[in-house]
């Protein structure tokens, strides 16, 4: 039985949840890695600097203790999809490495700064448990 927020499993497709509420889907084969998805998201979202971003798995929800698990760039997507479906986790694209100078990020990559701004705004509206 699927959990509330779960989506039906589609073979060889990973769904990545973005901070703005959008969901991006990625087809993959046995050679596709997390790095491939991050590169594709960089192109799709017109991001110039990707060093602050990562894919994470979210376990728990707002009513539970939420945990984020950072994915390694060389990890195969088949492992990620297995965890998202069978362990009830969601895959998120997030800024995980906060820039030392956000103003510099704004100058260098306005799209990445906007993503950071949305992410921080969502976290602040949900409270300190995230």
Task: Give the CATH number for residue 99.
Answer: 3.10.20.90
**Alpha-carbon 50 to chain mean position:** 13
Among 20, 15, 22, 58, smallest CA distance to 37 is for: 15
Question: What is the sign of the dihedral through the CA atoms of 130, 42, 37 and 51?
Answer: negative
Measured torsion, CA atoms of residues 120, 124, 125, 130, in degrees rounded to the nearest 10:
90
pLDDT 10s per residue in the chain (130 long)? 444 444 455 568 889 999 989 999 998 888 999 999 999 999 999 999 899 999 999 987 666 677 889 999 999 998 888 777 767 788 999 999 989 999 999 999 999 999 998 988 866 555 544 4
The H or E element spanning position 14 is: strand 13-17
pLDDT at site 6: 47
Task: Show the domain range for 108.
Answer: 13-124
Burial of 18 (0-12, 13-18, 19+ CB in 10 A): middle
pTM: 0.79
Q: What is the tally of structural domains in the chain?
A: 1
pLDDT at site 80: 84
């Amino acid at each position: 039985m699927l959990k509330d927020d779960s989506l039906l499993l589609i073979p060889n497709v990973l769904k990545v949840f973005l901070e703005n509420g959008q969901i991006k889907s990625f087809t993959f084969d046995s050679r596709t890695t997390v790095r491939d998805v991050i590169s594709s998201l960089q192109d799709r979202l017109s991001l110039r600097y990707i060093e602050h971003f990562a894919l994470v798995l979210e376990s728990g929800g707002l009513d539970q203790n939420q945990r984020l698990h950072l994915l390694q760039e060389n990890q195969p997507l088949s492992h990620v999809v297995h965890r998202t479906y069978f362990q009830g986790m969601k895959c998120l694209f997030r800024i995980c490495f906060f820039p030392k100078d956000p103003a510099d990020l704004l100058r260098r990559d306005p799209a990445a700064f906007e993503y950071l701004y949305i992410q921080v705004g969502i976290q602040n509206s949900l409270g300190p448990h995230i």
